[in-house]
């Protein structure tokens, strides 16, 4: 993004880049959590649930890529070292459950993670509304994705959806 593109952003750039970096790190952690859960689920919960978690992992990684691109456009740098991911994230790392056969618990963990993402994107949407239309469009699209993920997982948990 050029000089004028950054100049029309009416939000403190350091604050905005910081919030985007935290969301980026949340997405990286979510992607990894979904991916590792998919590997575990494959062995005991069936291929369908595993495939769903693999798809979610890929989608969360795409979110991280889009956020990294926006951070760079705004003149910032995404966090690059994995050792710094959890410390800089808003959401905690959702580790796989010790009891591998706890499918309901794993889904519940992912629901909590999605709720955290919804809160983060909602805050970013409010921060950028009327002040940064490009970032606002991005975060509202990502917010809609996370709302959809949460709803699917809640329906899955209630037994009204299939993976």
> What was the pLDDT predicted at 36?
86
Give this prediction's pTM. 0.89
Write the burial class of residue 154 (CB in 10 Å: 0-12 exposed, 13-18 middle, 19+ buried): middle
Q: What is the pLDDT of residues 61-109, one digit of tens each?
A: 999 999 999 999 999 999 988 888 888 888 777 777 655 566 778 888 8
DSSP single-letter state for residue 159? T
83 DSSP assignment: G
Split at pLDDT 50, 70, 90, the class of 38 is confident
Topology, domain 11-158: Ferritin (1.20.1260)
**What would the pLDDT profile of 122-156 be if each residue is shown by its tens digit?**
999 999 999 999 999 999 999 999 999 999 999 98
Instruction: pLDDT band for 20, please (50, 70, 90 cuts).
Output: very high
The torsion angles phi and psi of 29, rounded to 5 degrees, stand at -65, -40
Closest by CA to 28, choosing from 77, 103, 79, 99, is: 79
- Which residues, in sequence order, are CB contacts of 93 under 8 Å at separation 6+? 29, 33, 86
Q: What local confidence, expressed as pLDDT, does residue 135 receive?
A: 97
* d(C-alpha 48, C-alpha 42), whole Å: 8
Look at residue 46 in the predicted model and tell me its pLDDT: 65
Cα–Cα distance measured from residue 105 to residue 39, given in angstroms and rounded to the nearest whole number: 16
* Distance from C-alpha of 29 to C-alpha of 82, rounded to nearest angstrom: 10
Q: What was the pLDDT predicted at 134? A: 96
pLDDT band at 160 (very low <50, low <70, confident <90, very high): low
Q: How many CA atoms lie within 13 A of 3 on its CB side?
A: 0
pLDDT of amino acid 2? 76
């Amino acid at each position: 993004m050029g000089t004028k593109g950054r100049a029309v952003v009416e939000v403190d750039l350091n604050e905005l880049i910081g919030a985007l970096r935290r969301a980026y790190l949340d997405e990286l952690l979510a992607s990894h959590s979904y991916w590792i859960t998919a590997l575990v689920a494959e062995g005991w919960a069936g291929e369908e649930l595993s495939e769903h978690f693999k798809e979610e992992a890929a989608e969360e990684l795409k979110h991280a890529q889009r956020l990294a691109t926006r951070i760079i456009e705004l003149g910032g740098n995404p966090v690059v070292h994995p050792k710094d991911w959890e410390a800089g994230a808003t959401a905690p790392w959702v580790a796989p459950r010790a009891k591998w056969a706890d499918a309901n618990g794993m889904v519940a963990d992912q629901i909590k993670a999605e709720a955290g993402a919804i809160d983060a994107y909602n805050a970013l949407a409010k921060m950028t509304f009327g002040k940064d239309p490009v970032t606002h469009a991005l975060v509202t699209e990502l917010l809609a994705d996370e709302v959809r993920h949460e709803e699917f997982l809640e329906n899955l948990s209630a037994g009204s959806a299939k993976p």
